[in-house]
Copies of this chain bind each other. A is one copy, B any other.
């Protein structure tokens, strides 16, 4: 699993790891039931501390994206299709929409942008 970590960003490393795993799940490169790298392996290949990866896994586990225990390692959760966006994500979305509106992006254009992003989630050969 190849992570692109940028230590110069204000986004903490463990959050960047968490985010990219979510992108991976949504894009299909990480499938439900699939085994994630061990915290040690991912830490080594990413050049970060084991506990930093663990912190990302803890967060993903708490949010329901993965399961992790000592016997089976970490695996992508089979989504139960809650069908609702988290309150946190919804308030973040509201803020982004505000920024878009102030930037002068009309509603239709924003929706089109969402459509494109939704489709571009799928993994493409690179």
Chain A positions within 8 Å of B, measured between CB atoms, are 19, 22-23, 25-27, 65, 79-86, 89-90, 92-105, 107, 110-111, 113-115, 117-118, 120-121
- Per the bound structure, the CA–CA distance linking A37 and B81 in Å amounts to 44
- Per the bound structure, the CA–CA distance linking A19 and B107 in Å amounts to 20
- Per the bound structure, the CA–CA distance linking A98 and B29 in Å amounts to 13
Residues of B within 8 A of A118 (CB): 97, 101, 107, 110
- Per the bound structure, the CA–CA distance linking A120 and B120 in Å amounts to 27
Whether A99 contacts B86 by the Cβ 8 Å rule is: yes
Write the chain B residue with the least CB distance to A20.
B95
Instruction: Give, as a whole number of angstroms, the nearest-CB distance from A103 to chain B.
Output: 5
